[in-house]
Structure 1
Amino acid sequence: MRSIYTALIASGLLLSSCGKDFLEKIPQGQLGEGQVSNGEGIEAVLLGAYSIMNGNVSGTWGNYAAAPSQWIFGEITSDNAHKGSEETDQPNMNLLEMLNPNPANDNLTTMWQVYFEGVLRANTTLRLLKKDQEGAKEISSARALEIEAEARMLRGHYYFFMWRVFRNLPWIDENTPLEEAKTKPNDTDIYDKIIDDVKFASENLPVTKIKGEAGRMDRNIAKAYLGKLYLYQKKYDLALPLFQEVIAGKDLTTMPFQDNFDIDKEDGPEALLVSKHAINPNGSGDNANVGDMLSGIYAAPVSCCGFYQPTIDLVNAYKVDANGLPYLDNEYRNNPYLSDFGLTGAAKTNYQVDVTLRVDPRLDYTVGRRGVPFLDYGIMPGDAWIRSVSFAGPFVGIKTMIKESQFAGNTVSGEAYITGLDVNIMRLADVYLMAAECAVELNDLSTALEYVNAVRRRAATLPPKTVNGVPVADYQVNPYPSFPNQEYARKAVRMERRLELALEGHRYFDLVRWGIAKNVLESYSQFEGTYLPFYRGLVYNSHNDYFPIPQTEIDRSGGTLRQNLGY
């Protein structure tokens, strides 16, 4: 299947940018609207709107907060991951992790400006399309409807990403004049407008990829996304049928878990909403996975940058009981597994991985730990791959990494931490588990059990990690025999989302929408802080449901943007 980024590169519009002043006039050196007010130009502008999917306007460094993986806002703010690296590196990320950001935090500004650039590009597409349809009609009415659906789906996605972070946003669409857009207030709830965009897309996008290009929006993506929007509103009766339409006829158990994170297996049957990434033909990386580039291991063959480390709490959450089921009430924290953390002298030097540790096999396809094979790099050696173990712990992530044997053509020369690995913003297992959540809340426990167990049966097919033919853990994952009551089912679904989707950008937003962020995160802080003192004493306040509006944007609006309560 042809990738949309092949078309992006061919379009030549790849990426002129409006820079930080996303609502200002188009700068010199960029094509003006008059030059793209034709069929070919409109298609190219649409591709430019798609290009923001990778969270990047231009260059490579500095896009981390806008990463499609949402590792900064969705994971390091949660009990799943630490910022990593060293305490003095990217200190504004530390403030986010400890839920104490201020409006001057540069990560907030990046998130706001990049995704409003995406909104602007979607709006430009819609405005040019309307002009064409009222005039020359170089684009057929059938294709025009598809373009409108694509552009509105993109706009809805970009706005939803921002809504989860900032909540209170100005709504700017293709009919908003430039001068009004600059000072549009954020005093009304825009959520229904996001739903309107995505609902339109769900009714008008084709089922198959337009032009056969991977990365394009399609009807299944829009239906799943619309279901997710309803789920956030707790409209479970509206969300569940949409999820079930997407699931229908698909057997998750036949789709290998590990393929979701393999650059040679992209665009597989589980992929839904994907941010497509690629190394440019000239070897540059601005269309690559620049959002996750800091997550590379801090040693050869990657040699940068040591961020985004899994927590001790997450690793222990993968422990299972004698029945191969997870611990749902934090019992996994009893006698915690710490790898070689805290050992010294001979005990450290001679450390051997505990092959009797009873865990879900997804652990070792999510987390790198000492003594366990890590992709094709060999055995993970422990501290040698980590910048500051005492700050962020003994573990590294796997899902953002590619094999060393895949470097050629899939990394920037000399910068193997910049890869062409796609990011799954929404994949089928996520939809299964959102459907299960809806079923639980509608008290249809048998349906919820079916969906959760499909995810667990698939996990049971993961090949064990071995050294000299011996499994490095006692791998067990079994289906639940039953859900005895709604509360048990609710805990099971929530735990399954954590285990299946860990380090994929969902966790913090899940905790917030479930209304359990305060209890979970403060309890986690007490546990994690026992071993890593920096994380002790986290306090979750009600305003931590969202983050502050960037002060730069309030100033630019002349004060019409209002700061979120609590900041």
Structure 2
Amino acid sequence: MKKTRSKGLLLIICAIMLIGYSCKESFLEVPATGQLDEAQLSDKKGLEGVLVSVYGQLNGRANRMASASNWVWGSIRGGDANKGTDPGDFSDINPIQRFQYITTQGVIADKYTGLYEGVARANLVMRLIGVAKEDVTDADKARISAEARFLRGHYYFELKRGFNNTPYVDETVDYGTGIEKVSNNKDLWPFIEADMKFAYDNLPETQAAAGRVNKWGAAAYLAKVYMYQKKFAEAKVLYDLIIANGQTTNGKKYALVPRFQDAFKASNDNNSESVFAIQAAANTGSVNNANPEFDLNWPYNTGPNGPGNCCSFFAPSFELGNSFRTDATGLPLLDGTYNSAANELKTDMGLKSSDAFTPDAGPVDPRLDHSIGRRGIPYLDWIDHPGNDWIRNQPNAGPYTTKKYAYYRTDIGSLQDNSSWTPGYTAINVNIIRYADVLLMAAEAEVEVGSLEKAREYVNLVRARAANPASFVKRASGENAANYVIDTYKTAWASKDAARTAVRFERKLELSGEGHRFFDLVRWGTAAAEINAYLAYESKKLSGALGGSTFTANKNEYLPLPQDQVDLVGKDILIQNPGY
């Protein structure tokens, strides 16, 4: 009897509990499987894992156009290259190269949301630091916070120079309540500076793992942030420290690698020139660890990524090729005459690969043939570039193929990954900042503060490396593949204007195809003049792709904010950029 009464009471209690739960919405809330909450991530292992995910967003894998390589946003818009391929392939890039941006452009939304994904991941790290468990030491907190804030500063830097001011959100904002109502009425520069300064003050000089930013990488990035704000004296202080004392993750002093091309080889990743780079690895069991930046940007048909595979994107421009012309003394044609009929490079435009062709015999900077694939010149360790056979649509793309971040034949199966739809995934790191960039930024700062001779010294370091005969492209016979003529600046520059012109042109040559050019032109205030001159010249060669294109000053310096974001937040809160 007692046993029966106890059983009945238990049933009544259970019924009451079910009634109580059924009246609460929490009864319907089931924790997501395969998902960790903040409490599970707040130990050291969890924090380090989330931090790795912040680094993982640097290549914008799910949002390809968010990548820090900026091959579209910095290089194509800057005149280093055009989209290439066919007009209908990835046609969303067509309006970008023509400066006909619209607010609903998918690639623009990808850039914006991909960068904010990086911001969100960095902010999660910072929130977890605030609830870190006992196994996370104060030293751990300082380092992890510094890395996260450096990366957050990077993502906001990309947003700032891409879109001007966008909403600022840090770890103190509750993502569940009203984040969509944040305005873009604050200047991002002070927030970016604060993150980079914190990173510089708290990061170690070396790191245990390749790819993690160290104190010197933060110093270089902070100096770059200063340069964009024309704080040249502040930047110079940091550049002096970096050049004198800076060192790579493994403790080696920063230096230019002896051969220019070796700065872009997977087998030479994390070299003495690598200040901060997106890390990549091939054949790890997941293609997601490989470099997705340039899986479209290969010679077409029978070359690397062939036979019959993708895609002939990112075709270097005629104007860029001409820029590598030198005079008889080995100096660039700073007066702009490189585009004249007498100086422009001879190409095989309009010719089939079966047609006879002799490459240009005039003097050129040897960096030309490490930056641009052109007919009749050896293409890495593959074959002599055959011209039209490697171009998907020559009237749309021109006669050149990209070369700087191409993989070698000897990389196949080791530093190149065959586990996906295309063999274009590689182990090649992408430099966000390399030492040549630091030297040329330092030269620029020296010019602006009046130290022209120091600027010339830095530029000559870069040119002397380019002039190393061991780096010249050779034929099988051992002869130079072209008429390479290059030298350093032997005499002092006559004026600040002359020095400024030389330094800026050196950046164009040295850093072509690395995503810098457009942003340099904008920060120098020369974008409208230089880009319109480029479009006027290039459109005569590629009328279908670029004919009628115009850069509009005070508009095209920045991308429009994505229309879906403006609609979500409200046009009175999220203020659209001028002209859109």
TM-score (structure 1 length as normaliser): 0.90
Structure 2 residue corresponding to 1:205, chosen from 200, 203, 206:
203
Question: In structure 1, which of residues 537, 543, 561 is the aligned counterpart of residue 574 of structure 2?
Answer: 561
Given candidates 451, 455, 458, the residue that maps to 2:462 is: 455
- 2:54 corresponds to 1:49: yes
> Which moved further from structure 2: 412-421 or 250-259?
250-259
Structure-2 residue corresponding to 1:281: 284
- Fraction of identical pairs, as percent: 38
Unaligned runs of 5+ in 1: 1-24, 58-62
Counterpart of 2:156, as a letter, is: Y
1:262 and 2:262 matched: no
Q: List aligned pairs for 1:156-305, cutoff 5 A.
A: 156-178=153-175, 179-209=177-207, 212-248=208-244, 252=255, 255-279=258-282, 281-282=284-285, 284-300=286-302, 301-302=304-305, 303-305=309-311
Q: Which residue does the alignment assign to 1:359?
A: 364
CA contact (8 A) 1:81 1:503 kept: yes
The one-character-per-residue Cα deviations of 1:188-236 (angstroms, maximum 9, x if unpaired) are 1111101000011011100001xx2111010000000000000001010
Quick check: 2:352–2:387 contact (8 Å CA) kept in 1? no
Distance 1:344 1:254, change over 3 A: closer
Q: CA 1:255–1:139 in 2, change beyond 3 Å: closer, same or farther?
A: farther
Tell me which of 135, 139, 142 is aligned to 1:142.
139
1:412, 1:191 → 2: CA distance?
42
- Corresponding residue of 2:549: 538
- CA displacement, residues 454-495 of structure 1 (integer Å, 9 cap, x when unaligned): 000010015322333332211011011121111111010000
Distance between the aligned counterparts of 2:427 and 2:268, measured in 1? 12
SS across alignment from 1:504? coil
Contact 2:101 2:559 in 1 (8 A): yes
Aligned to 2:4: none
- Determine helix, strand or coil for the equivalent of 1:264: helix
Contact kept in structure 2, 1:255 and 1:269, CA below 8 Å: no
Q: Tell me the distance in 1 between the aligned counterparts of 2:422 and 2:95.
A: 28
Matching residue's letter, 1:170: P
> Where does residue 23 of structure 2 map in the other structure?
none
Per-residue deviation, 1:65 = 1.1
Quote the offset at 1:253 in angstroms.
5.1
State the shift of 1:241 in Å.
1.4
Q: Is 1:515–2:525 an aligned residue pair?
A: yes
- Could you list the per-position Cα deviations for residues 356-402 of structure 1 after superposition, in whole angstroms to 9, with x for gaps in the alignment? 22100000011000000001111100011111111110001111211
1:263-321 Cα offsets, whole Å, 9 max, x none, are 00011100011000123622x32222112211122123402111001000000100000
Answer yes or no: is the 8 Å Cα contact 1:340–1:394 preserved in 2.
Answer: yes
Considering only aligned residues, what root-mean-square deviation do their CA atoms show, in Å?
1.8
Partner in structure 2 of residue 315 of structure 1 = 321
* Segment of structure 1 superposing worse, 519-528 or 464-473: 464-473
In the alignment, is the contact (CA less than 8 A) between 2:103 and 2:561 conserved in 1? yes
Give, in angstroms, the shift of residue 254 of structure 1: 5.1
Q: How many residues align?
A: 529
Answering whether residue 487 of structure 2 is matched by residue 478 of structure 1, we say yes
Q: Match of 1:45, as an amino acid?
A: V
What displacement does 1:412 show?
Answer: 3.0
Give the Å deviation of 1:255: 3.6
Query: Using the alignment, how far apart are the partners of 1:325 and 1:47 within structure 2?
Result: 44
The 3 A distance-change label for structure 1 pair 268 and 102 is same
| Distance in 2 (alpha carbons) for counterparts of 1:378 and 1:166 | 42
Match of 1:446, SS state, is helix
Aligned partners of 1:66 and 1:291 also within 8 Å? no
Q: Is the 8 A contact 2:379 2:385 kept in 1?
A: yes
Judge conservation of contact 1:440–1:486 (CA < 8 Å) in 2.
Answer: yes
Which of the residues 491, 497, 515 maps onto 1:505? 515
| Alpha-carbon separation, structure 2, partners of 1:274 and 1:526 | 35
Q: 1:48-103: per-residue Cα shift (whole Å, max 9, x none)?
A: 1111112224xxxxx43122210010011111110111112222211011111111
Distance 1:483 1:406 in 2: 43
Q: Go from structure 1 to structure 2 and tell me whether the alpha carbon gap of 1:253 and 1:186 turns closer, same or farther (over 3 Å shift).
A: closer
CA contact (8 A) 1:310 1:395 kept: yes
Cα pair 2:300 2:392 within 8 Å, conserved = yes
Q: Tell me which moved more, 388-397 or 463-472.
A: 463-472
Displacement after TM superposition at 1:247 (Å): 1.3
Q: CA deviation at 1:434?
A: 0.3
Aligned residues of 1:170 and 1:184 also touching (Cα < 8 A): yes
Question: What's 2:443 paired with?
Answer: 436
Structure 1 CA distance for aligned equivalents of residues 377 and 352 of structure 2: 20
Look up the match of 1:3.
none
Q: Secondary structure at the match of 2:289?
A: coil
Aligned twin of 1:469? 478
| SS across alignment from 2:275 | strand
- Indicate how the Cα distance of structure 1 residues 281 and 287 shifts in structure 2: closer, same or farther if over 3 A, else same: closer
The question of whether the paired residues in 2 share the 8 Å contact of 1:171 and 1:184 is answered with: yes
**Cα shift at 1:545:** 1.1
- Cα 1:280–1:124 shift into 2, 3 Å: farther
Say which SS state the counterpart of residue 287 (structure 2) adopts. coil
The aligned amino acid for 1:499 is L
- 1:496-526 per-position Cα deviation (integer Å, ceiling 9, x unaligned): 0000000000000000000001110111111
CA distance in 1, matches of 2:288, 2:153: 24
Query: What SS class does the counterpart of residue 407 from structure 2 fall into?
Result: coil
Query: Contact 2:254/2:272 (CA < 8 Å) preserved in 1?
Result: no
